[in-house]
Amino acid sequence: MATSTPSPAASAPTKRGRVRIPYPPDQVGGLPGGLGIEVYDGVGAPPTEHDGVDFYVLPYTFDPTPLRVLAEMPQVRVVQTLTAGFEHVLPYLPPGAVLANGRGIHEASTAELAIALTLASLRGVPAFVRGQDSGEWLAGFYPALADKTVLILGYGAIGEAVDRRLAGFEAEVVRVARTARTTADGAPVRGLAELPGLLPAADVVILTTPLTDDTRGLVDAAFLARMRDGALLVNVSRGPVVDTKALLAELASGRITAALDVTDPEPLPADHPLRYAPGVLISPHVGGSSSAFLPRALQLIRRQVTAWAAGEPLANIVAGPGATGAAASGE
């Protein structure tokens, strides 16, 4: 759907221009006046006129059409994605444009799924579902999350959200980020250089790292070999962070298990061996796709457009002018 309408009157902005968003202005609410608001939801045909579009909020879709439209928008100054990951946008980003990601939208939902996948895998829920279908009664003892050591790799906003949700499970949490630091409450975050020595002690490794040149293939054969026997790998980041061939070899040996919301390739073909590997639980990349998404997405759009219109700094800048260090790495 592509429509154009003036935004409701509000405080006068210092900037005038066209703003393209994926939701109607009255649904977003609170947008400043004086802007030409255009709606493109990524479902219907895209607009054919792009001159004067200064601020473009990408629709939340796996369809590449909204990205390809960027090639016809050389004047756009701000591109706002509603995804936490942003590597898919970089090849389309016009020179001089700022890219901001969806930090603040997906943390709650993705962290919930990370915990759900962890618990389901440890407690044998996939086997219970199959047993219910087949009439089997699979009684017995199963691993608990309690007393486990959980390593969170990629301690950014989503990693922090996972950490908060682990607080009640009586597990020891080890935090790893690109560089070492201390959290606001004094907890240590280890640097990536320490990872090889930390992996052998982890019962569960949860991947929440963004996909960058440094993290692509990070979980390779050497990484997996350092994981302790019986460990669980949980991936809610991006599929290419994990070397699929190396993971398949470890799963086939039965030495580790895995719970994956993201895979490489993706979508995973129906006949892909990862679907049938022992000890693997797969969800179809739904970490951010929950009822928590829309209210947070609308809030971010409202906040970012309002800041831009007033000439104030934008949040979440990950590429282009103003992107530095941890922001550009997603941590």
CATH classification at residue 160: 3.40.50.720
Same domain, 28 and 113: no
Same domain, 160 and 213: yes
Same domain, 257 and 325: no
CA 301 from centroid of its chain's CA atoms: 17
Q: What is the pLDDT of residues 27-54, one digit of tens each?
A: 999 999 889 999 999 998 888 888 889 9
Q: Where are the strands (E) in the chain, listed by range?
A: 2-6, 18-21, 36-40, 53-57, 78-80, 98-100, 149-153, 172-177, 181-182, 188-191, 204-207, 232-235, 257-260, 280-282, 317-319
Contact 73, 56 (CB under 8 A): yes
The pLDDT of residue 59 is above 60? yes
Q: d(Cα 218, Cα 224) in Å, to the nearest integer?
A: 10
DSSP label of 314: P
List 266, 272, 302, 303, catalytic entry: 266
Same domain, 143 and 277: yes
Contact 286, 262 (CB under 8 A): no
pTM (two decimals): 0.88
Is 266 marked active-site? Answer: yes
Contact 85, 136 (CB under 8 A): no
CA 227 from centroid of its chain's CA atoms: 24
DSSP label of 158: H
Alpha-carbon separation of residue 144 from 41, 91, 202, 207 (angstroms): 43, 43, 14, 20
Is 238 marked active-site? Answer: yes
pLDDT band at 121 (very low <50, low <70, confident <90, very high): very high
Same domain, 123 and 18: no
Same domain, 101 and 147: no
Contact 18, 54 (CB under 8 A): yes
Same domain, 117 and 100: no
List 50, 77, 103, 285, catalytic entry: 285
Residue 94 CB contacts under 8 Å (≥ 6 apart), including other chains: 70, 71, 73, 74, 76
Q: What is the pLDDT of residues 202-244, one digit of tens each?
A: 999 999 999 999 999 999 999 999 999 999 999 999 999 999 9
Quote the domain boundaries for residue 40.
2-105+291-329
List 238, 250, 296, 331, catalytic entry: 238
Residue 150 CB contacts under 8 Å (≥ 6 apart), including other chains: 118, 166, 171, 172, 173, 174, 202, 203, 204, 205, 206
Same domain, 92 and 146: no
pLDDT of residue 182: 95
pLDDT of residue 9: 36
pLDDT of residue 5: 47
Same domain, 68 and 131: no
Is 272 marked active-site? Answer: no
Q: Domain count for the chain, please give it.
A: 2
Same domain, 90 and 117: no
pLDDT of residue 12: 42
Same domain, 163 and 259: yes
Structure tokens at 198: 């930390």
Same domain, 225 and 144: yes
